[in-house]
A and B are shown apart, each in its own frame.
Chain A
């Protein structure tokens, strides 16, 4: 405790984390006062837990709105104190932080939805769906950036994938073919990225930006020229239907959220697992990380830096192109103008927020998906917070993250720097 008061002896990270939790503590206090005591006494909040035909533990949970806010705020207060103590003792406080955040959120929901119904399972399922392109995008960014090539063209790759899969599925009436061309379209953009960045050493940020403009321009052009006038042949493709996995698909809450989804979502699980494993457990992963951190050292032990980078950027394009298919054949089947609407940039944000690690990026993508879905749910049940502010959350969170207010965020050391043997860089 003495240590805690004299924060001087803390490391920089400890100090930052302590401050973060003090802020959370104050928010919890505010929530306790404003929501716990400031609620209409008899209003009740109803949480719905069932969605379809899964096995049921509880259908709905009805709690007094004031009681709920009161209860969850107190849990948040306790968890925040626990977290601060753990930090002072130099122990991991991740779980306590998560509990604090979750309790704050539940307390807020109890207040916000007083007298109303919140379909909790449905909300979480929607969050996962909104996170799907973000996860694909951030995995693409991860593959490229861990090997040292900045990928701002995620947006363009997603859009190219969406366009190609939608059009091909519509022309051939086969969604499987659409799924096949989507990664290729993403890889095509990657091919441009890799060629110009690695062969012609063009600045990667500028390049990614220009490629996005190119893809937006091309798809907008073709959309107006072909997809609108010849809609029935060019833009009315089939889409995947949900597949329920036997047994685990019937689990309460978890089942409908994770195991009653389309093929693309299951592919996403697979890709996340493969990338996480390969990056840290295989020779390729070690080389990728080496090239991204210290290309000269990697070169000196015989790794062909630029070849590895080229290959990784191409794989990155395959991944985000596949993610693009989610927008068309993964949902309604048809393509619309600029339908990715910035998902590539939120994916980039998730990658950064997740500190360039697979699990971090996935968590951040899920969090951003949840924030997005929460604002949708709240505006449907008619809560008086402007939805615009809820939509700002991922972006503000990312700025806070890169500013180092929540632990230091550090990119791979050689990210964005062109490598040439004996070169000046």
Chain B
């Protein structure tokens, strides 16, 4: 038992410390940008109490907006109070899938910045199958999901093929392909096929009810079956990496491509397969997001899911379970951030600062070790992409 505790503590300590530091620094940013606080700069006592209460209120709203809100529970029961938590899960669902798309690539030594573009292709294809056809319910959902997964797998696979055949660095190619995908969705929403009848703003028709993912907790909650798909995908990635030969090859190439090549593993094949699979995962995220919570495709459908995915994968240390937890955490920050923005004077965007700081500290364990004077802070192998020529 002690051994187990040590292990948990060892792996969780660095993320926990990074988390604390990120919140403290962001607290300073919140306090020192508040006009109420700044006006009291002449009287130190009041200044400190006002600053603390401003930051405290902001973080309290962040919690109430993402986990449990007693105001909602009042008169409706405890379960209604958990409505924010269900919203957190809804936001985290696509984030788990895009996070896995980045994490899996890390395991093969690739840095997939392209989750955003892959997400868009998944969403576009799923939306098209969803609103354009009618099938029996279960079949329709399955077909829409498959369409999203396949188109995104092709979009991601292109990156793998380019890297394997010509050596084009995946970071550069995926950055560029994100922009191309962004313009693509702007264009396609103007076409007569996609533009909703009678609308001029870029929005597609809603997917047919037969293609919508079922709700899990009644119609008062937006919680949908997508979370089950996301958890299954996380299990699949874990199984693939740890229990199959293909996964072993992925990790071997990730650990040392030259050695893997000497051992007879085709690096090119692994690169293409990884990128296609990553595309598929992110595309599944896009499909689930459209079929589960949005129903209608809009130009901004991808939001920040593809970019947050990178911070999620980094926080989760490219492990499937870690990615799930990290996605839930960042989903909570996003969801709670909206409440914080409307209930206090603190804008949602502080969440981005918190995310960036957490990842920055996790990426630099030496710094954390130095600040907290911890000698044996456990750090796992550093995540690293290789130089431009790698």
Query: In whole Å, how far is B109's beta carbon from the nearest beta carbon of chain A?
Result: 12
CB of A348 within 8 Å of the partner chain: yes
Residues of B contacting A416 with CB < 8 Å? 385-388, 390
Q: Do B183 and A196 touch (CB < 8 A)? A: no
Contact residues, A201-216 vs B (CB, 8 A): 201-203, 205-207, 209-211, 213-214, 216
CB of A7 within 8 Å of the partner chain: no
Q: Do A214 and B168 touch (CB < 8 A)? A: no
Residues of B contacting A417 with CB < 8 Å? 386-387
Q: Which of A27-35, A107-115, A259-267, A402-410 contacts B (4 or more CB under 8 A)?
A: A402-410
Task: Closest A residue to B34 by CB, please name it.
Answer: A225
A249–B336 CA distance with the chains assembled, in angstroms? 56
A348–B172 CA distance with the chains assembled, in angstroms? 9
Residues of B contacting A210 with CB < 8 Å? 311, 314, 356, 359-360, 363
A62–B187 CA distance with the chains assembled, in angstroms? 33
Contact residues, B257-312 vs A (CB, 8 A): 307, 310-311
Task: Closest B residue to A212 by CB, please name it.
Answer: B356
Contact with A along B17-46 (1 / 0, CB 8 A): 000000000000100011100000000000
Residues of A contacting B354 with CB < 8 Å? 217
Q: Do B167 and A404 touch (CB < 8 A)? A: yes
Contact with B along A399-425 (1 / 0, CB 8 A): 100111100001111111100000000
A398–B177 CA distance with the chains assembled, in angstroms? 10
Q: Do A203 and B384 touch (CB < 8 A)? A: yes
Q: Do B311 and A388 touch (CB < 8 A)? A: no
Chain B residues with a Cβ closer than 8 Å to the other chain, count: 55
Q: Do B347 and A207 touch (CB < 8 A)? A: no
Which of B111, B179, B307, B388 has the largest count of A CB atoms less than 10 A from its CB? B388
CB of A56 within 8 Å of the partner chain: no
Interface of A is mostly: helix
| Given A389-B183, A404-B167, A411-B389; A200-B364 close (CB under 8 Å) | yes
Q: Do A214 and B389 touch (CB < 8 A)? A: no
CB of B329 within 8 Å of the partner chain: no
Task: Closest A residue to B359 by CB, please name it.
Answer: A210
Chain A, interface residues (CB within 8 Å), range: 35 or more
Contact with B along A375-413 (1 / 0, CB 8 A): 000000000001011011001101100111100001111
Q: Do A224 and B349 touch (CB < 8 A)? A: yes
Residues of A contacting B357 with CB < 8 Å? 214
Task: Closest A residue to B111 by CB, please name it.
Answer: A205
Q: Do B179 and A392 touch (CB < 8 A)? A: yes
Which of A203, A349, A386 has the largest count of B CB atoms less than 10 A from its CB? A203
| Given A213-B311, A221-B29, A399-B176; A404-B168 close (CB under 8 Å) | yes
Residues of B contacting A209 with CB < 8 Å? 113, 310
Q: Do A196 and B364 touch (CB < 8 A)? A: yes
Contact residues, B350-374 vs A (CB, 8 A): 350-357, 359-360, 363-364, 366-367
A352–B175 CA distance with the chains assembled, in angstroms? 13
Residues of A contacting B175 with CB < 8 Å? 345, 348-349
Residues of A contacting B349 with CB < 8 Å? 216-218, 220-221, 224
Q: Do B389 and A395 touch (CB < 8 A)? A: no
| Given A196-B364, A213-B355, A220-B352; A386-B190 close (CB under 8 Å) | yes
Q: Do B387 and A217 touch (CB < 8 A)? A: no
Q: Do A399 and B173 touch (CB < 8 A)? A: yes
Task: Closest B residue to A346 by CB, please name it.
Answer: B179
Given A207-B360, A210-B360, A411-B389, 6 other A-B residues pairs in contact with their CB atoms under 8 A: A202-B363, A349-B176, A388-B183, A398-B172, A402-B168, A413-B387
9 A-B residue pairings within 8 Å (CB atoms): A196-B367, A201-B382, A214-B357, A218-B353, A225-B347, A389-B183, A399-B168, A403-B166, A405-B166
Q: Which residues of A contact B (CB under 8 A)?
A: 145, 150, 152, 196, 200-203, 205-207, 209-211, 213-214, 216-218, 220-222, 224-226, 229-230, 342, 345, 348-349, 352, 386, 388-389, 391-392, 395-396, 398-399, 402-405, 410-417
Q: Which residues of B contact A (CB under 8 A)?
A: 29, 33-35, 111, 113, 162, 166-169, 171-173, 175-177, 179-180, 183-184, 186-187, 190, 307, 310-311, 314, 345-347, 349-357, 359-360, 363-364, 366-367, 382-390
